[in-house]
Amino acid sequence: MSDAAKLKSIVVLVSGNGSNLQAIIDACEQGKIPAKITAVISNKAQAYGLQRAKTAGIPAVVVDHTAYLTREAYDQQLLAQISKFAPDLIVLAGFMRILSHEFVENFQGQMLNIHPSLLPKYKGLHTHQRAIDAGDQEHGASVHFVTADLDDGPVVLQSKVPIFENQDAEELAERVIVQERQMYPLVVKWFCQDRLIMLNNKAFLDGIELEEQGYAAN
């Protein structure tokens, strides 16, 4: 089998800047991830991530959520668009929409997300400010498999940063996202190497069940 035949197919969903997308594009181009990104899909036409896709020669697709009356109708269209590319893996990279249970069930064990908190802390929005307000000493990001409940699937990897005194949420977010761009390509690589799977709502790397806070949790 040629190297090209072994490449996994990835569809990436974005809503904004797409700097995590860029890190994964770069890692694929450099041969660090045995995969090809076959499409980037956004719910927002203005998302800079779409521009990044075009620059890299990747099909960029808009499925605008404002054109659909219900979440279910939107998710059906999203499903139809994704299915055209028959991906092995769907990567949520700053995709700021809640996905319906029906949608998620189509891709059990095939969808990863990155969330800017040390899950299970701070699911949802404004995670950096919430960590500061709580007086936490550390914050970070988590890559996890997507399951039906928001930001709730098994964690694969976390990265931590200290919270310094008088640091505002914007500064903290900048330090966290630097870590995100390091860790997300690594997890995507594990998946594409067939080393990472989800089974019965648990993540396994090289056949070993990962702890609640992911690989190398301690």
Q: Are strands 89-92 and 8-14 parallel, antiparallel or unpaired?
A: parallel
Shortest separation between residue 79's beta carbon and ligand GAR, angstroms: 20
Shortest separation between residue 93's beta carbon and ligand GAR, angstroms: 5
Catalytic-labelled residue, pool 65, 101, 115, 144: 115
- Residue 180: in which H helix or E strand, if any? helix 169-192
- Are the CB atoms for 29 and 37 separated by under 8 Å? no
Q: Which residue is nearest to ligand GAR (CB)?
A: 94
- Residue nearer to ligand GAR on the CB measure, 32 or 204: 32
Distance CA 70, CA 35 (A): 33
Distance CA 76, CA 205 (A): 31
Site for ligand GAR in 104-133 (CB under 6 A): 114-116
Distance CA 114, CA 204 (A): 17
Q: How open is the CA angle 74-39-141, to the nearest 5 degrees? A: 80
Among 87, 94, 154, 214, binds ligand GAR (CB under 6 A): 94
Site for ligand GAR in 149-208 (CB under 6 A): 177, 180
Distance CA 18, CA 85 (A): 20
Shortest separation between residue 121's beta carbon and ligand GAR, angstroms: 13
Beta bridge pairs of residue 145: 112
- Are the CB atoms for 113 and 90 separated by under 8 Å? no
**Under rule CB under 6 A, residue 18 binds ligand GAR:** yes
- Residue nearer to ligand GAR on the CB measure, 16 or 208: 16
Site for ligand GAR in 52-71 (CB under 6 A): none
**Under rule CB under 6 A, residue 50 binds ligand GAR:** no
**Under rule CB under 6 A, residue 20 binds ligand GAR:** yes
Distance CA 21, CA 23 (A): 5
Shortest separation between residue 142's beta carbon and ligand GAR, angstroms: 9
Shortest separation between residue 150's beta carbon and ligand GAR, angstroms: 8
- Are the CB atoms for 15 and 97 separated by under 8 Å? yes
Tell me which amino acid residue 76 is.
Q
Active site residue 128: no
- Please count the residues of this chain forming the interface with ligand GAR, following the rule CB under 6 A: 14
Query: Site residues (CB under 6 A) for ligand GAR?
Result: 14, 16-20, 93-94, 114-116, 141, 177, 180
Active-site positions read 115
